């Protein structure tokens, strides 16, 4: 059975490393702000095996006017588990967390090859692509998050 739970920054490394920092030193899996109280990491488990991770940072991007912004980072599903709907499950979980925390907007720097995935999840590219050293081409993407006023 699959389930999602909060994990520590360090616990994300066994997925971040092979998927996002392939053949790079393990230290490269540490992101600035990983250990802040305002940062949350979620792990998706198949039984007791960690197979996907997503991290959410309270971080404002000046491109957007919204007051309460969250940034997704470190989104990764182990290769053999990709394209089974797990990435979407993780993003949905993260969005619910952001809604519960009064978010106005979610944004992130998306790898160009992942933009199609995020577009399916309702995110839009903003501006031109740009390069992140040692990682590759990215686009800023975002989505406004609003609580449904008709929900209890």
Ligand X SMILES: CC(C)(COP(=O)(O)OP(=O)(O)OC[C@H]1O[C@@H](n2cnc3c(N)ncnc32)[C@H](O)[C@@H]1OP(=O)(O)O)[C@@H](O)C(=O)NCCC(=O)NCCS
Residue 55: CB minimum distance to ligand X, A: 11
Q: Pick between residue 22 and residue 151 the one whose CB is nearest to ligand X.
A: 22
Task: Give the sheet arrangement for strand 124-132, strand by strand.
Answer: 2-7, 40-46, 49-58, 69-77, 105-111, 136-144, 124-132
| Residue 3 neighbours by CB under 8 Å, 6+ apart | 44, 45
Q: Pick between residue 40 and residue 115 the one whose CB is nearest to ligand X.
A: 115
Residue 121: CB minimum distance to ligand X, A: 7
Q: Pick between residue 133 and residue 151 the one whose CB is nearest to ligand X.
A: 133
Strand-pair category, 136-144 with 105-111: antiparallel
CA contacts within 13 A on the Cβ side of 96: 8
Query: Which residues pair with residue 120 across a beta bridge?
Result: none
Residue 115: CB minimum distance to ligand X, A: 7
Q: Pick between residue 6 and residue 79 the one whose CB is nearest to ligand X.
A: 79
Residue 99: CB minimum distance to ligand X, A: 19
Residues near ligand X (CB under 6 A) = 19-20, 75-77, 82-88, 110-111, 113-114, 116-117, 120
């Amino acid at each position: 059975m699959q389930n999602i739970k909060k994990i520590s920054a360090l616990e994300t490394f066994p997925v971040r490393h092979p998927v996002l920092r392939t053949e790079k030193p393990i230290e490269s899996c540490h992101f600035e702000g990983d250990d802040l109280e305002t940062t949350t990491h979620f792990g998706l488990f198949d039984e007791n095996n960690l197979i996907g991770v997503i991290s959410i940072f309270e971080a404002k991007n000046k491109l957007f006017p919204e007051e309460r912004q969250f940034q997704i980072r470190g989104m990764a599903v182990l290769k053999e588990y990709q394209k089974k709907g797990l990435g979407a499950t993780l993003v949905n979980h993260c969005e619910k967390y952001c809604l519960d925390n009064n978010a106005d907007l979610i944004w992130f720097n998306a790898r160009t090859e992942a933009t199609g995935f995020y577009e399916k999840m309702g995110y839009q590219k903003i501006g031109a692509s740009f390069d992140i050293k040692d990682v590759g081409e990215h686009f800023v993407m975002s989505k406004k998050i609003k609580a449904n006023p008709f929900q209890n």
